[in-house]
Amino acid sequence: MNKKLLIIPLLIFVVAFSFFAALNFVRAQTIPCTVYVDPAKTTVNVCTSFLINVNIANLIEPPIYHYDFFLTYDSSMMTPLNAWDGGFLEPPLVGLFWEIEPDYGGLGIDAVHCWAMTEDGGAVGSGTLATIEFHCNALGSSFLDLDVMLMDGQGVQFLPETVVGGWVIQGYWEPVKLIDIVEWPYQYFLVDIPFVIPSSPEGYTEVLSHIEAKGYQFDDPATGTASEVTILVEEQEITGTVSSWWSSNTLEDGTRACMLSAEMDDGTSMAMAFVTNLLPPEQTPEVDPYIIVNAMPYMYVRFYWWAWGPIGRVIVWPCWWYDSHHHPNWFWGPFWWWRIYIRGYYYPYDVVPYWRPWWGWWWHWIYWRHWYWWSTYFPYDP
């Protein structure tokens, strides 16, 4: 056989092998090994526990037999409770797994020190190195920074190409659907007190003037009610005063206005009003229910809320619809729009917790103080 004919296939094989080897080399170089906190951003409620994973991804070579990392955090915000191996290394594992290291690196911050070593073969690929359980101590936020060291089977230490930390946002529970407002999950107590026209809640005077300019008259304190409230939310007691005051007149379009206020003992407050043609039965005792007997062509509620500084102003948003039978969950709409405004005023709300623990109850109180009759005729869909 001609030797030249044998050389040609051999050359083709060598070229092809070199090409694929080079391709895999480039691929290995372009996909960096990464150790990262998962999830990158965690939102939790105060006084609750939560889990954080430390993951590894795209480890191609060398296989690791040992990992060692420090996860630093703000100890005034959170406390580590426990940690577990994530299963990336093959068992059996040897050695101490986790401990708290105070004042890590002399920086005045604490760290969770996690490490593990396998006695068997090393590991490559992607997976979870460890899972850590924390407890949320306070309202605020905390960084989660990583320092990582990996070791191969020869005892050689090396660093991953990329290390990515995380962030924990610690706030209070807030409603995520209508049933959370209607069926408030925490205890609260109301005690009726004599109604006095509020003057101290921020923006109350401005909202009242805005409504009066539209022709609604608030000249009879007898149409107002007030209550002292005690709210228990996640081991915290919140106290304050809330009030409700209907206008003494009805405009030609069949609407009345209602002023709402909250002044809490922690210094926070709320001023709000609404205008509606859906008057409660006690204001229209000759018909039951008002909306059906009068065959209203449309129904609406228009809310007015005093947005806090630095530039305080009245924010207005309406909720209106035809055919009441198709809108049993209408109350979620006004709340949802208000929450959007709130988030805007606390931007960036993904770093600074914007929610206050009594705000959800505030909407629960509005619902049952003024719209219980509506839900009786048209129950909400949980």
Q: Taking residues 303-321, what's their average pLDDT? A: 86
Q: Taking residues 85-103, what's their average pLDDT? A: 87
Alpha carbon distance 182, 356 (integer Å)? 18
Exposed/middle/buried for residue 187 (C-beta within 10 Å: 0-12, 13-18, 19+): exposed
- pLDDT top residue among 280 and 323: 280
What is the dihedral angle through the alpha carbons of 23, 31, 65, 104, rounded to the nearest 10 degrees?
160
Range list for CATH 2.60.40.680 in the chain: 32-171
Q: What percent of the chain has pLDDT over 90?
A: 49
Task: Give residue 192's pLDDT.
Answer: 96
Out of 4-18, 20-34, 262-276, 334-348, the most confident range is 262-276
Alpha carbon distance 40, 56 (integer Å)? 13
Task: Give residue 214's pLDDT.
Answer: 96
Which phi and psi (to 5°) does residue 336 adopt?
-60, -45
- pLDDT top residue among 187 and 170: 187
pLDDT band at 375 (very low <50, low <70, confident <90, very high): low
- Full-model pTM: 0.70
Task: Give residue 173's pLDDT.
Answer: 82
Helix 359-370 vs helix 332-345: angle between axes, to the nearest 10 degrees?
Answer: 150
Residue 27 has pLDDT above 50, yes or no: no
170, 138 contact by CB (below 8 A): yes
Task: Give residue 349's pLDDT.
Answer: 59
Torsion sign over Cα 225, 226, 227, 229: positive
Residue 220 has pLDDT above 80, yes or no: yes
Q: How far is CA 148 from CA 104, 127, 156, 158, in A?
A: 14, 15, 14, 9
Report the range of poorest mean pLDDT among 8-17, 258-267, 296-305: 8-17
Out of 5-9, 104-108, 111-115, 173-177, the most confident range is 111-115
Helices (H), 175-280: 178-182, 204-212
- Name which of 296, 189, 280 is nearest 233 in CA terms: 189
pLDDT band at 28 (very low <50, low <70, confident <90, very high): very low
pLDDT band at 16 (very low <50, low <70, confident <90, very high): very low
Q: Taking residues 259-264, what's their average pLDDT? A: 97
Residue 31 has pLDDT above 80, yes or no: no
Task: Give residue 144's pLDDT.
Answer: 95
What average pLDDT is seen over the chain? Answer: 83
237: part of which helix (H) or strand (E)?
strand 236-246
Q: Taking residues 332-341, what's their average pLDDT? A: 88
361, 273 contact by CB (below 8 A): no
Residue 246 has pLDDT above 90, yes or no: yes
287, 294 contact by CB (below 8 A): yes
Task: Give residue 341's pLDDT.
Answer: 86
Alpha carbon distance 214, 145 (integer Å)? 55
Residue 359 has, within 13 A of its CA and on its CB side, a CA count of: 18
192, 161 contact by CB (below 8 A): no
Which residue type, as a one-letter code, is found at position 271? A
Alpha carbon distance 76, 113 (integer Å)? 18
pLDDT band at 14 (very low <50, low <70, confident <90, very high): very low
- Name which of 193, 203, 290 is nearest 244 in CA terms: 193
Alpha carbon distance 266, 374 (integer Å)? 33
Q: Are strands 34-38 and 162-164 parallel, antiparallel or unpaired?
A: parallel
pLDDT band at 127 (very low <50, low <70, confident <90, very high): very high
What CATH number is given for 32-171 in this structure? 2.60.40.680
Q: Taking residues 55-80, what's their average pLDDT? A: 93
Residue 265 has pLDDT above 70, yes or no: yes
pLDDT band at 300 (very low <50, low <70, confident <90, very high): confident
- Neighbouring residues of 200: CB distance < 8 A, sequence distance ≥ 6: 263, 269
Q: How far is CA 51 from CA 98, 136, 290, in A?
A: 15, 11, 52
- pLDDT top residue among 156 and 107: 156
What beta strand segments (E) does 269-375 contain? 269-276, 299-307, 313-321
Task: Give residue 51's pLDDT.
Answer: 96
pLDDT digits (tens, 9 = 90+) for 130-169: 999 999 888 788 999 999 999 998 888 999 999 999 999 8
